[in-house]
Structure 1
Amino acid sequence: MGGVTRRPVAQDQGRAVDPGSAGPETWPTGRLLSMAARRVERSWDAYLEQWSLTHATLPVLAVLSAGPRSQREVARALKVTEQTTSRMLVGLEQVGYLRREPHAADRRRHVVALTDAGLAALRAIDDPTVLERMVSASLTADQVGELRAMLLTIIDAERAPGGQGGEADGQRAGV
């Protein structure tokens, strides 16, 4: 038999893994978490499409739900450029979720305001039951509780002083 010999190139809990046959059960934790996050994000994106929204435009509605803002204020709140904000505002205006109005004190300026349709979309989207089902449909209630606890532990570690979650930390954790 003169075929190519495959040699293990990865380790999974001390045993060699053949990269050609390795399934998700052999992946590092970080890769599993990333794959799960992408699955949830695809579900979230499909859900938002019902309202002609994306994960990027939804926060615009949330910012404007507090009241009319200038484009600059919206950009600052979202921590994006005014140019990026402008593109999002155009799309949201086209679907009827916001309108531009003259500024009350300065007629040369405009403010962006949420319409009734935009507020209705924001309220409809924010259904915790639907959102939770996207993540936990294949899990038991106990598993959801365990997952939430573990995710909070990961998030809290990032917030702790010195908890930058750098490469060395990831390597120690096996991600």
Structure 2
Amino acid sequence: MVQESRPSDTLDPASPDPAHWPVGRLLSSAARRVERDWNAHLAAWDLNHASQAVLAHLLRAPMSQRELATASGVTEQTMSRVLARMERSGYVTRAPHDDDRRRHVITITDEGRSAFFVASDRELAETMVTRGLTPEQAEQLRRLLVVVAGEPGTVSDPDDPDGSDRSAG
């Protein structure tokens, strides 16, 4: 009897061939490639993936540096560097908080809003990530990544992307 080879039988994280890498290495490598490509695109506006995310948060409302750091999943020190660069670019302003002079409120400027919308071309971003995939494969990738990116401990159904069928409990 011939035994079929399963992917787990041929996984080799040291292999030069991505077809033999574990899923974690594949996902990490793909994420780094997409981040490099996206950062190269955003550089035309003196943005990167981190500063673009900050602008997205600030489109909803002004926030403190601590709130932005928490929302972005980075330290306050890292956020401080991101904000300093964005302030030099004219994309955000910092002003003392009305009630607490130790805190600053970060607000997006008109230039920041404009740069965000021009640089955030959804079609271009989707093309960068899904190049080489059929539309069906791209949709399948999206559904799988929603599951993988979900909060730890939550159940996500890829056929129910908005979670409307999820029952509590």
TM > 0.5: yes
Q: CA deviation at 1:107?
A: 7.1
**Displacement of 1:21:** 7.3
Shift of 1:155: 4.0
Q: Please give the root-mean-square deviation of Cα atoms over the aligned residues, in Å.
A: 3.3
Deviations along 1:4-54, one digit per CA (max 9) or x if unpaired, are xxxxxxx96476689997522232333223222221121111122111112
2:117 to 101, 120, 123: 123
Does structure 2 conserve the Cα–Cα contact (< 8 Å) formed by 1:100 and 1:112?
yes
**Number of paired residues?**
151
Task: Indicate which of 78, 91, 94 corresponds to 2:88.
Answer: 94
**Cα contact 1:12–1:26 (8 A) shared by 2:** no
Aligned counterparts of 2:133 and 2:106: Cα–Cα separation in 1: 41
- Relative to the length of structure 1, the TM-score reads 0.67
Shift of 1:141: 1.1
Q: Provide the residue aligned with 1:40 in structure 2.
A: 34
- Paired residue for 1:140? 134
Asked if structure 1 preserves the Cα contact closer than 8 Å seen for 2:62 and 2:105, the reply is yes
Contact 2:13-2:20 within 8 A present in 1 as well: no
Q: Quote the offset at 1:103 in angstroms.
A: 4.3
Look up the match of 1:65: 59
- 1:70 partner amino acid: S
TM-score, scaled to structure 2 = 0.69
Q: Secondary structure at the match of 1:150?
A: helix
Please list, as runs of the form range in 1=range in 2, the aligned pairs for 1:5-84 lying within 5 A after superposition. 13=7, 23-84=17-78
Larger Rg belongs to: 1
Match of 2:106 in 1: 112
**Any gaps of 5 or more consecutive residues in structure 1?**
1-10, 162-175
Equivalent residue of 2:30, what SS? helix
Deviation string for 1:29-87 (max 9, x for gaps)? 33223222221121111122111112222222122222333334433443444333222
8 Å contact kept, 1:136–1:144 = yes
Q: 1:117 to 1:26 in 2, by over 3 A?
A: same
Q: CA deviation at 1:88?
A: 1.7
Moved more, 142-151 or 17-26: 17-26
**Between 151-160 and 61-70, the greater mean CA deviation after superposition:** 151-160
Give the partner amino acid of 1:121: A
**TM superposition shift of 1:92:** 0.6
